[in-house]
Amino acid sequence: MPLYFLLMLYIVLVPFGLCQSPQYLYIKEFKIHKLKQNGKHWDSFKGSPDVKCNIYTLQNGIWKKAFTSNSYNNTLHVDSEMGSQIEVYPDFQIKIEVVDLDLGDHDTIGKLNVTIHKDDFSESTCEISFDRVEKFVYFFSPYRTVSEKKFAEKVSEEANKKLEEYKKSVAKEIKMYKKKIAEMEKKLREKETRISEYTKIIEHLTEKIRTLKRETEDEAWDQFEDDLKDDH
């Protein structure tokens, strides 16, 4: 359990740069031109080449093979994610080599020295072309192997799914509370309306009472004056 927790924590922290992590080179795909530089077909029967990709790194000033892909027969387009497990960093140099596998000597389809730049790590993919390689797409990941990367993607997907479910749940509760608040505000407005109506009635009755009081007082005064006159 502790190991799983640490791995989960690593997966969460790495993408946000909260944990210092190495970057590893991945190959996404590469595509070969249909014909050789001399205009001839790769295969004697006009077929596509049997291809393989090699990655070299500089070790003590000498290029040494650090990764070799599987062989892909009779194809111009290899669309298969490959983890080289080569740890890279800014200004790191690699040599990419794509070859056509023949019974005798292997033909070099393309070869290129590449310097890794810091900005490359923030790109989703990097795409280059060289010699008879029409397109070569690579990228970097903090996960060393394809299985680690897939596991991290799965965990991330599950976390995002749970986050979306939580957001929906919160949105539903907010909607419910907004409805309750709206109902309470409506009832409050109705009460305020009734209070206003009652206030007007009370004011009207108060004014009537005042009027009656004045009229009663006036009548009493007039009667008093009449009584005085009769006495004289």
Q: Check residue 18 and give its pLDDT.
A: 43
Q: What is the pLDDT of residues 193-230, one digit of tens each?
A: 999 999 999 999 998 898 888 888 877 777 777 767 76
Q: Check residue 63 and give its pLDDT.
A: 97
168 pLDDT above the threshold of 60:
yes
Q: Check residue 17 and give its pLDDT.
A: 47
- The CATH code belonging to domain 20-144 is 2.60.40.150
19 pLDDT above the threshold of 60:
no
Q: What is the pLDDT of residues 122-164, one digit of tens each?
A: 889 999 999 999 999 999 999 999 899 889 889 989 999 999 9
**Rg of the chain over CA atoms, in angstroms?**
43
Q: What is the pLDDT of residues 73-117, one digit of tens each?
A: 999 999 999 999 999 999 999 999 999 998 667 889 999 999 999
Residue among 121, 134, 122, 54 at smallest CA distance from 94: 54
